[in-house]
Structure 1
Amino acid sequence: MTKTDVKTLLIASGKRAIVGNISPAVRAIAIGIKDDQILQIKCYLDAIPNVSDYERLSDISAEILGDIDLNATEEICEYDIRPIAELDQLFGFIYVK
């Protein structure tokens, strides 16, 4: 599979995984793969993250790992009110409010 194919599959899997897993505080979710083995997900919130936000992000990761064989995850959930254009989008955004 080419890098473009992996990116396309990752974005499609991520978009499917977020269904039912978005809270009102979520501004954007970015997704990527680090070192060809680590799933990276960044969740940007307009409020300080709480336990529920981390649980939802973990659920999203689990859904994606069910589709794509990767060895680990790096989940980041952070309060950030910068404009969307200034956020790190990794491979791309799978959700933007």
Structure 2
Amino acid sequence: MDQEGADPGFSAVGEVTGDRVTVRVTGEVDMATAGALHQAATPARVTAATLDLRGVTFFDSAAIHTLVRLVEHYGGAIEVLPSDRVRRVLEISGLGGQPWLEDCG
């Protein structure tokens, strides 16, 4: 994947416990980094995911697309912990009321 122009502060680190992956994401999630987020969130043999996006500073349409793909992949077995910025973007996009979106405030 081409990471040219990607936020040097971006990271998406997944930790698997049992059948759940918890992915802690920091920095900007955009076209250059969304693929890395998806890859970190879909390791083999997991059936549930927690996306900790509280460290995310930018979240664009590519990030929304990746998030929707992950929701479709995990169904009801996903939870998203958003930063204020991510929550605002999801609200603007019409996804603010989704059951997988946790209240971190």
TM-score tier (shorter): 0.3 to 0.5
TM-score w.r.t. structure 2 length? 0.35
Relative CO higher for 1 or 2, CA cutoff 8 Å, sep ≥ 6? Answer: 1
Give the TM-score normalised by structure 1: 0.37
